[in-house]
Amino acid sequence: MPRVSPGERLAAAARERVARDAVRRLHTVSRREGARIEIDGRRLLDFSGNDYLGLAANPAAVAALREAAAAHGVGGVASHLVCGHHAEHAALERELADWLGWPRALVLGSGFAANLAVLQSLLGRDDLCLQDRLNHASLIDGARLAGCVLRRYPHGDIETAARLLAAHERGLALLASDGVFSMDGDVAPLRELAALAAREDALLYIDDAHGVGVLGERGRGSVAAAGLGPREVPLLLVTFGKALGGYGAALLGSDALIDHLLQTARPYIYTTATPPALAAAMRANLRAARDDGWRREKLRAHIARFREGAARRGLPLLPSDTPIQPLVLGDNARTLAASAALDVAGFRVAAIRPPSVPEGSARLRITLSAAHAEADIDALLVALAGIVEH
């Protein structure tokens, strides 16, 4: 095969994206007020973000951020193991572990980095990483980085997962799944996964980025909602950029697991710590997510209202009881046109296309928030009914 210049490679990739209606546009948000945003100079009602509890502008978190920034500055200064681990990080880890019921927590810069950290740190050449086919890209990339055997079972297919797990006879087996799937909005069969992991002596790791804060008693997530805890799910991922309204992530597990990650996980060891002020803000939002039950009640009411209204209008939503409400249109061009028409009507609803979702399943990914009002939900339904039927 002849050598290809960088310019030729980039030009070919650009032509392919255009041919598949797969070009992504970067939009600039200049102002945000609750569920309303100003983006590219237009004021729109946002149904694309992940601020499920409306905590991104929580006054208590903003005040905590300002106070901590005034006291400690705006930088993490160094990696955690050098001199970047601040008292605010330690306090956030303690409060997270206490809220969710795991022995110990470890704060990292992002959920993506956390998934790379877990799989790179725990798995090697002879080990197995078994994953749901619709897992987040960071879990897939983490397994590839680890150099382990990666097997993916059809979405939610416990029987196939069991066969694949039983067939691997060497090394460590790690079973990884999203708790709430980010593009479909459904919840993993967590009790069945826990039973399978226990039967096959595999380590079960759940990425609950879209579940914590939203599901379970006091917002403790999809694992708690399934009646499970650290015995059944030894390792859990929580992100701060969804229901907690901020940025960053944390891993929760036993003392032994967390200490191993602290000692060996390259995305933790070789990265500057997040700013202490951000950790202070996340502590404020953690308390709000835990204690403000009205936010979850309002969100649940919005989900029910939206799904009932969609059913009356014949809108083909995927089954989901979470804030993620996908409307699959299939064709990339049709999905882009629907998103653009919604933009004109005053709504920001992102068009999600491959590779974020499987080929032929392009969709409008509608996300709901406690920051929305009932009138916002109703207005979106009217717009969707007028646009999708055409």
> Which residues are documented as binding site for pyridoxal 5'-phosphate?
111-112, 182, 210, 239
pLDDT band for position 48 (cuts 50, 70, 90): very high
pLDDT at 2 (0 to 100): 82
Whether residue 390 is predicted with pLDDT greater than 80 in this model: the reply is no
pLDDT at 26 (0 to 100): 86
Whether residue 210 is predicted with pLDDT greater than 90 in this model: the reply is yes
pLDDT, tens digit (0-9, with 9 covering 90-100), for 363-382: 999 999 999 999 999 999 99
Looking at the chain, the whole-number percentage of residues with pLDDT higher than 70 is: 99
pLDDT at 166 (0 to 100): 94
pLDDT at 203 (0 to 100): 98
Mean pLDDT along residues 74-100: 97
Which of the residues 242, 298, 302, 372 is marked catalytic? 242
Q: How many CB atoms lie within 10 A of CB 140?
A: 18
pLDDT, tens digit (0-9, with 9 covering 90-100), for 109-129: 999 999 999 999 999 999 999
> Which residues are documented as binding site for substrate?
24, 136
Whether residue 241 is predicted with pLDDT greater than 90 in this model: the reply is yes
User: What are the boundaries of each domain within the chain?
Assistant: 21-53+293-388, 59-291
Does CATH number 3.30.410.10 belong to domain 21-53+293-388? Answer: no
Whether residue 24 is predicted with pLDDT greater than 90 in this model: the reply is no
> Which residues are documented as binding site?
24, 111-112, 136, 182, 210, 239
Q: Which of 188, 154, 174, 147 is nearest to 253 (CA)?
A: 174
* Residue 182 is among the residues annotated as catalytic for this protein: yes
Whether residue 213 is predicted with pLDDT greater than 60 in this model: the reply is yes
* Residue 298 is among the residues annotated as catalytic for this protein: no
Which of the residues 182, 339, 361, 369 is marked catalytic? 182
**CATH fold of the domain at 59-291:** Aspartate Aminotransferase; domain 2 (3.40.640)
- In contact, 217 and 201? CB cutoff 8 Å: no
CA distance 101 to 252: 9
326 preceded by a cis bond (ω within 30 of 0)? no
